[in-house]
Chain A
Amino acid sequence: MDLVIDEELIFIGESFESDIESLEFLADQLVKRNYVKDTYKEALVQRENEFPTGLNFGAYGVAIPHSDAIHVNKSTLGIVVPAKPVVFQSMDGSGEVEVGLICIIVLKEKQNQAPMLSSLMNLFSDEKAVEELSSGNVSVIKKYLMELVSANC
């Protein structure tokens, strides 16, 4: 699978006042590096408003923003560990989720992603793993992502 893990897409300690603000930041970073087209930002924000991506795991919250493959040039995963929790809306409409880890999923193709996506979700439902990912250590985060990709692609 052609999915690249880019250390430059791991952001630690940025502050965001809202979920949309964090998405706009991520979209700008992705556009700048040509991972996505100019249409991505608007599509990403619109999608989040329509189908929010906050996941409430009880003890913590993770967000998995993503948009349609049509706006993507190159597949990748981005991580944001914000300076303070960002409030996202829960995917199933159950309310707000305080998110300490944002993982943007950028996929050029819908097919063949099942194993990687399942592993990613399993990772997020593992409290210990999320704790390590949220520690803000770039090499730890990169290691997790690389392992995920090599195991599933």
Chain B
Amino acid sequence: MMKKILIACGAGIATSTVALNKLQDALQEKGLLNKVTLHQTTIAELNNKANDYDLIVTTTNFTKDLNVPIVKGLSFVTNIGKEKTVEEIISKLGL
């Protein structure tokens, strides 16, 4: 079954867009893109939406405990440590 990833940032415009695109590229390179669907939202909507997803990636400092694993995705924006974040996402999803 496809894993659903939700990517969130403050306004839901800038950094989540970048993170989504970079993650998409990285997963495609690894031949895993067909195993996931990627979605975007704002931090404010995370509480409402989280349970519909298998993994959350945020570019901000979101520290609440949700029932879904959360991965810090700022590395997609800065390009620093991106590979590690991708590995973390893949491993947390069991891909």
Contacts and interface: CB of A to CB of B under 8 A. Distances in A.
Interface stretch (A1-9, A106-114, A134-142): A106-114
B52 to A, nearest CB: 20
B14 A105 contact: yes
Interface string B41-83: 0010000000000000001110100000000101001111000
Given A51-B60, A91-B59, A122 B79 contact: yes
B80 A117 contact: no
Interface residues of A, number: 28
B74 A91 contact: yes
A36 to B, nearest CB: 14
A142 B80 CA distance: 27
A118 B18 contact: yes
Contacts of B12: 110
A91 B10 CA distance: 9
Nearest to B25: A118
Nearest to A89: B61
Interface residues of B, number: 23
B90 interface: no
Nearest to A92: B74
B10 to A, nearest CB: 3
A65 B4 CA distance: 29
Contact of B17 (A53, A67, A91, A113): A113
A67 B11 contact: yes
B39 interface: no
B93 interface: no
Interface string A54-66: 0111100000101
Contact of A93 (B14, B20, B61, B77): B61
Interface of B: 9-15, 17-18, 20-22, 43, 59-61, 63, 72, 74, 77-80
